[in-house]
Amino acid sequence: MARAWPAVFLTLALAPTLSANDWPGFLGPTRDGQSAEAGLNWDWPKDGPTVVWSKEVGQGWAGPVVAGGRLVVFHRVGDEEVVQCLDPATGKERWAFKYRTRYRDDFGFDEGPRSTPLIQGERVYTLGANGDLHALDLATGAKLWGRNLLADYKADKGFFGVATSPTVAGGKLLVNVGGKGAGIVAFDPATGKEAWKATDDPAGYSSPAVAEVGGATLAVFLTRNGLVAVEPETGKVRYTHPWRPRIRESVNAATPLVWKGDIFLSVSYGAGAVLLRPKGNDLEEVWAGDKALSCQYNSPVRVGDFLYGCHGRVDARAVELRCVEWATGAVKWSVPRSGATTLIAADGGLLGLTEAGEVVRFAADPAGYKERGRAKILGEPVRAAPALADGRLFARDGSKIVCVKLK
């Protein structure tokens, strides 16, 4: 019973602001790509599911989020990063908050924000590509506070700008900042003031998860150096595990997955995946290697005893969609040349948004890949994770966002 209390308190903390049909942050309400949606329509016509509305947006890889009857989109227009609140049913604008940004992409890929916003209670939090962290009033868009994390903590913007998506746990807003002595920083969600800071870990491109590990609710980060699991209230580091590629020109980007207290990490560039299990104050490797599910950017999802995700390098055009057994890392099936795909587990199956702008429905079946539907809904490349809320899929590329009816 004592071990159950942290999870109970976490659920109660979220209950006043979330419904089962909300998608308030990166990878959904539980930050693991799991949706509570049921009764979805998977019998799509030849042209695919109905696109209810579409709207022009600017640059960026930040995914849309939905909560409390509000859809929030974060993008860049000209020299401004724009936080825009829309009506989910119609796409009509409710408010917009804008500020100037100095971010310039070193490789010329895209200069919009990368971090998916977070809706928590009556506030929405955004983190721009140049480290601008803001808290806004969800109802009006009024600025509550703001600060620049790169300037405040002398942190580096990395290869592709700031991209980690913040989370709230233990009453704190948590970010992998990447500064000296401020690898992970907790802020007061109401004021933006620093609550605590820990580690020297540089920032990765992964976003933290919150889950029960070793009998306690922890914030689980995959930083540039590897795993760091901390107590969100105090910043006490409970577990660490080095896990990163040997080459400098690499990223750690997939979000950690936690199930039954075990932690799954995955990177590419020859490092591969590892399943970790708490043993006292340490973590032991259950299995590890580069032959199972090496995720460069997209986070895998779990359905039952199996993982589904993207194996291989996106930049090398060598990505395979795979099903892998959680306990052993055994590959059950693999689909070559599938391209990078963001996955959502919903209504007994899997929904994917590919980098080519296609929405795909397939079975969560370790016996083999069984596709149920596929439709082109966006241009390419698609890097932003979609949101599934109240029977609607919200997805975007670098120029528009669409609302697709699935119910």
**CATH number, residue 206:** 2.140.10.10
- Closest alpha carbon to 53 in 105, 7, 92, 104: 92
Instruction: Let me know: does 388 contact 37? Beta carbons within 8 Å.
Output: yes
pLDDT score, position 7: 40
- Closest alpha carbon to 283 in 262, 266, 254, 297: 262
Single-letter amino acid, residue 186: A
Residue-range definition of the domain harbouring residue 339: 2-405
- Can you tell me the distance from the alpha carbon of 130 to that of 150, in angstroms, rounded to the nearest whole number? 7
Instruction: Let me know: does 238 contact 229? Beta carbons within 8 Å.
Output: yes
- Closest alpha carbon to 149 in 167, 162, 136: 162
Query: In 76-145, where does DSSP find H-type helix?
Result: none
Q: What is 345-370 written as a DSSP string? A: EETTEEEEEETTSEEEEEE--TT---
pLDDT score, position 80: 98
Instruction: Let me know: does 129 contact 162? Beta carbons within 8 Å.
Output: yes
Chain centroid, CA 308 distance in Å: 15
Query: In 138-200, where does DSSP find H-type helix?
Result: 149-153
* Count of the separate structural domains present in the chain: 1
The pLDDT profile of the chain, 407 residues, written as one tens digit per residue, is 344 444 433 433 443 345 668 999 999 999 999 999 999 999 999 889 999 999 999 999 999 999 999 999 999 999 999 999 999 999 999 999 999 999 999 888 899 999 999 999 999 999 999 999 999 999 999 999 999 999 999 999 989 999 999 999 999 999 999 999 999 999 999 999 999 999 999 999 999 999 999 999 999 999 999 999 999 999 999 999 999 998 988 889 999 999 999 999 999 999 999 999 999 999 999 999 999 999 999 999 999 999 999 999 988 778 999 999 999 999 999 999 888 999 999 999 999 999 999 999 999 999 999 999 999 999 999 999 999 999 999 999 999 999 999 99
Give the residues across from 227 on adjacent strands: 222, 241
**What's the token pair of residue 399?**
């120029």
Kindly list the distances between the CA atom of residue 323 and the CA atoms of 71, 311, 326, 346, 354, in Å, as whole numbers in the listed order.
32, 10, 9, 16, 16
Q: Provide the greatest CA pair distance for the chain.
A: 55
